[in-house]
Amino acid sequence: MYEVFWDKVKNRLNSSGDKLAGDVHGGFEANGIVIFNVLEDAIKAEKIVKGNGLECKLVAPPPALRKGCDLAVAINLVEKPLLERILSDAVPYVHILPLEGSRELLQIVKVQYYEKHIMVKAANMKITYDKQSGRIVNTSGGGCPDIPYLHLQFLGKKLTEVPYPKDISYTLCALMLDRALEECISLWKREEIECCS
Amino acid sequence: MLLIAGIIPIADLPLIEGKVEKNGGFLSVNGNDIPPTQGTAAMISAALEVSSFLDIEPPHVVLAGDIGNGKGSRLIYRYLIENLESLSARVLALHYCLPIIQLMKQLVAVVDKCGTRPVLIADAASMYAAKAAGLAGKFDIFTPDASEIAFLADPEAEHPAYISRHLFETDSSRVPELIKKAYANNAAARLLLVKGECDYIALEGNIIASVNEPDIPEIECIGGTGDTITGMLSAFVHAGYPMEQAALISARANRFAGQMAEANPATLVGELIRYLPEVFKDKLDSWVEKT
C-alpha cells in the first residue's frame, strides 16, 4: 500500500519536474524547506500552502535535512511566520529551515540605552520606546513589505497594546520585530517592578 | 529618468506608475496621496528634495500597496519585467518588497537587455533578494546598515534573520572587515554605502571614505533614516554626480539634517527630510568642491 502511494508521489514529482529542493522549476525558486515526519503530511501541507496563495512545491529533501520522510515542501523562507501560522493547526511538521545549511534564527538581541529611551535590536529590526510611558516612539530597519505597515501600527502605542508581529505578519523581518518587541516588554516590566518595589 | 520601485503600506493601493509630486504633507502620484513615512515613501521624499533643489526632473515611481503578503511586491516585479526596457530609466532604485528570487533574476535579466543599462541600486529587501539570487555583482550600489552588512558578509545567511551570532555581535569598529567579507563572498554591489555609527563608502572592495560627523547616535532609532540616504544617493546619481561623491554627500546630508532637526529617538523621519533643502543650501557647494 505504502509503495503504491510512494510511486504515485514520485510520478507526480517527475511529471511536475520537481527534483531536489533548491532546483528551479516552474518559475518558483525556493530557499527554504518544511520537513515532515510523515509523507501524507507533506502532501497535505502543499495543498494548504498553495490554498493560501503562497508558492511552494513538493520536493525530495536534501539528505542532510531529511528527518522522517522522503518528501518535503520547498518554500520562500522569508514567509516563515505566515507558513508557521497556517500549518500549525492543520498539519504536523518537524522544522522550517533554510535550504542551505541548517542555520537557526538569530536568538540574541542588543539593547541601547538613551537618556529617555531604550532601543532593542533583533537582527535587522529595532524598536525604541519611552522609558517612562512604555510607548513605542520609533521602529527602524528591515526591508520586507510588512515593516512599513507595522511601523505605522506601532507608533505612539504602548508596548503592551500592540499585537505581536508573529501573530499578524508574514515575513522574517516581522519575526525579528517580534523578537525585539518581546525583549522590550520584558525590559519594561522589569523596570516597572524595580520602580515599584 | 530616476525610477524608484517599492511597496507602500496601504493594503488596497493598486499598482501606480508616474511622476511624483508634493501635495501638502503628502507625496502624490497620479492623484494618489501617500504619507511620507518610513520605507519607500521616505526614500522617495528625500529623492524629491534633491531633485527639487537641483531643479531637475522629479523621480518617477512604480508603487503598489503591500502589507506583507507579497501581492503588491509581485505586481511591481512583473510590471518592471514587462515595461522596464520601454521606460528607459537612467537610474533604477529597488526598495521595500517581498524578496522573491526568481522574479529578481528575471528583472535583472531585463536590466541587462536595456539598450542603455540603468545604474542599478538596491536597498531593503531588494538587496536581500539580490544577494539570495547570487546577483549582487550585477548591482552598482547597495546601501546596507550595520546588520545588513553582516548579512552580506555571511555566506550562509538567506536573510538578516539568519546571520550568525558572531557576525551580529561584531563591534561596529569591525565593519571594514565585514565589507571585505561581503566583497569576498560576491555579495556586494560595486559600491557599498554602509550606514551606521560611522558610514563607510567602499568601491570595488576598497573603503574609499568614511563619515562620522556630526555624530548623532539617536538617528539609528528613527525609522526611515536609512531610506532617506538611499533616496538622496539615487537622486544625486541621477543628477550626474559620480557614485562615490553622491554617496559621500548623502551620508553627510543625513547627519546634518539630523543635527538641524535636533533629532532624538522619538523624532520622525519627516522632521529630518524637512531640513534637507537647508542642508543642501548651506553645504552642497563646499562638499562638491572638496570631493
Q: CB distance from A57 to chain B under 8 Å?
A: no
Asked if the Cβ–Cβ distance from A119 to B220 is below 8 Å, we say: yes
Instruction: Identify all chain A residues contacting B102, using CB atoms and an 8 Å cutoff.
Output: 24, 27-29
- Distance in Å, alpha carbon of B40 to nearest chain A alpha carbon: 8
Beta bridge partners of B191: B141, B203
CB–CB of A40/A81 below 8 Å?
A: no
What is the Cα–Cα distance from A174 to A147, expressed in whole angstroms?
A: 6
Distance from the first to the final alpha carbon of chain B: 25
Asked if the Cβ–Cβ distance from B145 to A141 is below 8 Å, we say: yes
Share of chain A above pLDDT 90, in %: 64
What is the Cα–Cα distance from A42 to A45, expressed in whole angstroms?
A: 5
- Residue B16: give the domain boundaries: 2-290
pLDDT band for position A39 (cuts 50, 70, 90): confident
- The string over B150-170, giving b where at least 16 C-beta atoms fall within 10 Å of a residue's C-beta and e elsewhere, is bbbbbeebbbbbbbbeebbeb
Task: Give me the CATH number covering residue B12.
Answer: 3.40.1190.20
CB–CB of B223/A152 below 8 Å?
A: no
pLDDT band for position A197 (cuts 50, 70, 90): low
Q: Which grid coordinates belong to B33?
A: 496621496
pLDDT band for position A2 (cuts 50, 70, 90): very low
Please give the pLDDT value at position A19. 42
What is the Cα–Cα distance from B102 to A30, expressed in whole angstroms?
A: 9
**Angle value at C-alpha A45, between A42 and A48, nearest 5 degrees:** 160
Q: What is the pLDDT of residues B34-83, one digit of tens each?
A: 999 999 999 999 999 999 999 999 999 999 999 999 999 999 999 999 99
- Nearest Cβ partner for B168 among A123, A172, A173: A123
Instruction: Identify all chain A residues contacting B217, using CB atoms and an 8 Å cutoff.
Output: 112, 114
Residue A9 has pLDDT above 50, yes or no: no
Q: Which grid coordinates belong to B189?
A: 554591489
Residue A15 has pLDDT above 70, yes or no: no
What is the Cα–Cα distance from B230 to B213, expressed in whole angstroms?
A: 18
Q: Residue range A96-110: average pLDDT? A: 84
pLDDT band for position A7 (cuts 50, 70, 90): low
3-state secondary structure of B200: strand
What distance separates the 2 farthest-apart alpha carbons in chain A?
Answer: 68
User: Can you give the three-state secondary structure of B136-178, one letter per residue?
Assistant: HHHCCEECCEHHHHHHHHCCCCCCHHHCCHHHHCCCHHHHHHH
Asked if the Cβ–Cβ distance from B266 to A79 is below 8 Å, we say: no
Q: What is the pLDDT of residues A53-71, one digit of tens each?
A: 999 999 988 877 777 677 8
In A, residues 17-46, which contact B (CB 8 Å cutoff)? 24, 27-29, 31-32
Q: What is the pLDDT of residues B253-270, one digit of tens each?
A: 999 999 999 999 999 999
SS3 content of chain B, % helix, strand, coil (to 5): 50, 20, 30
What is the Cα–Cα distance from B146 to B129, expressed in whole angstroms?
A: 18
Instruction: Identify all chain B residues contacting A100, using CB atoms and an 8 Å cutoff.
Output: 156, 158
pLDDT band for position A152 (cuts 50, 70, 90): very high
Q: Which residue of A has its CA nearest to B70?
A: A145
What is the Cα–Cα distance from A103 to B249, expressed in whole angstroms?
A: 38
Place of cell 572638496: B290
Parts of chain B with a pLDDT under 70 = none
Q: Is the ipTM of this complex over 0.85?
A: yes
CB–CB of A59/A33 below 8 Å?
A: yes
pLDDT band for position A195 (cuts 50, 70, 90): low
Sign of the CA dihedral with A138 first, then A143, A149, and A150 last? negative
Asked if the Cβ–Cβ distance from B223 to A151 is below 8 Å, we say: yes
In B, residues 108-137, which contact A (CB 8 Å cutoff)? 123-128, 132-133
Residue A11 has pLDDT above 60, yes or no: no
CB–CB of A146/A174 below 8 Å?
A: yes
Please give the pLDDT value at position B16. 98
Beta strands in chain B (DSSP E): 2-8, 16-23, 26-29, 32-34, 60-65, 91-94, 119-122, 141-142, 191-194, 199-203, 206-211
Please give the pLDDT value at position A101. 65
Q: Residue range A61-88: average pLDDT? A: 87
Per the prediction, chain A carries an average pLDDT of 85
What is the Cα–Cα distance from A125 to A49, expressed in whole angstroms?
A: 27
Burial of B85 (0-12, 13-18, 19+ CB in 10 A): middle
What is the Cα–Cα distance from B54 to A88, expressed in whole angstroms?
A: 54
Please give the single-letter amino acid code of residue B132: A
| Domain count within chain B | 1
